[in-house]
Amino acid sequence: MTKHNTHRAAGRARNGATRFAYKGIGGAAMLGTVVVGSAFAAQSASAAPAAPAAPAPAELTATEVSTTAPDQAQVSTLLSSTKTLYKGKSGERVEALQSLLNDEGANLEVDGKFGPKTDAAVRAYQDENDLQVDGRVGPETRGSLSGGVSVSSSDSSAEAEASSSKSTSGGSIVDAARQYIGVDYDWAGSSPSGFDCSGLVKYVYGQFGIDLPHSSSKQAHGGTRISQSQAQPGDLVVWPGHIGIYAGNNKVVDAGSSKGSVSERTIWGNPSFVTYR
């Protein structure tokens, strides 16, 4: 189970909060009910009666001082999306992520750019909350950041199935592989910090109880060879010295040195197909 870091200093302000200043009578700035920058001289008993107070304005004018927190719609988008956030991503969902991390004690600029500082904050949060430390905000990390809220029921089966179901259906295997699109290619790598082709296959298949060797040739020879017309999503696509996961529609998810990262692309050449079904 995930846990949340509750060891915060007492009275610590939550990052990303929006503060408002209000202008009242005479131009004094007001924060809530506290009047700032106005002094009221004491009136002596012999002083002339004060002039009647001017009628209160019908409505206070609010001036926004600073806004760094995303609105609720942005947070909802982050929590309901089936797409994993990782280093290199940008946009409103990253802004929402940065604000949530700030709520947990990070000190990030909410700029919508998933750069090294955001990556480090995600990894620190994952480590503190007993999550897989990979810098990727999938359903488990997203649910933990949202206070244990489950992935929205409107989500597709993509990450929800890959992380919680352990079904060996081909679609779930492909969805699990897609979570790592963008991870750097690393020769002999077999973890989300870096994959080579057989390392990606081994890691993804391992999530579904299929233990494969870290070798493209051994992975190919360990299954049953089939024709492309028989291939289903989740089966393996094999070239000499290279292997990937069939995504259907003549596509493969693979960790390729030529691409420099895990990607989903059109199958090329004349590969063979192997299944472990």
* 170-194 residue pLDDT tens: 788 999 999 999 999 999 999 999 9
What is the predicted pLDDT for the residue at 109?
93
Sequence-ordered list of residues with C-beta below 8 angstroms from that of 17, at least 6 positions apart, any chain: 68, 69
How do residues 28-50 score in pLDDT, each as one tens digit?
444 443 434 444 344 444 444 55
- The topology (CATH level 3) of 158-275 is endopeptidase fold (from Nostoc punctiforme) (3.90.1720)
Of 103, 37, 34, 39, which Cα lies nearest the Cα of 75?
103
**pLDDT score, position 134:** 80
DSSP 27: G
Range 122-160 burial, b when 16+ CB lie within 10 A, else e? bebbbebbebebbbbbbbbbbbbbbeeeebeeebeebbb
Q: What is the mean pLDDT, run by run of 10 residues, along the chain of 277 residues?
A: 46 43 42 40 45 48 42 54 73 87 90 88 87 82 70 40 46 93 95 96 93 95 94 96 96 94 96 94
Hey, where are the domains in the chain? Answer: 72-145, 158-275
- Asked if the domains 72-145 and 158-275 are classified in one and the same CATH topology, the answer is no
Give pLDDT, residue 144: 85
Q: What is the structure's pLDDT at 163?
A: 40
- Give the pLDDT confidence score for residue 25 in this predicted structure: 39
192 alpha-carbon distance from chain centroid: 14
Helix, strand counts (H, E) of the chain: 8, 12
- Cα separation, 121 vs 116, in Å, equals 9
Q: What's this model's pTM, rounded to 2 decimal places?
A: 0.45
Residue 22 pLDDT? 42
CATH code reported for the domain at 72-145: 1.10.101.10
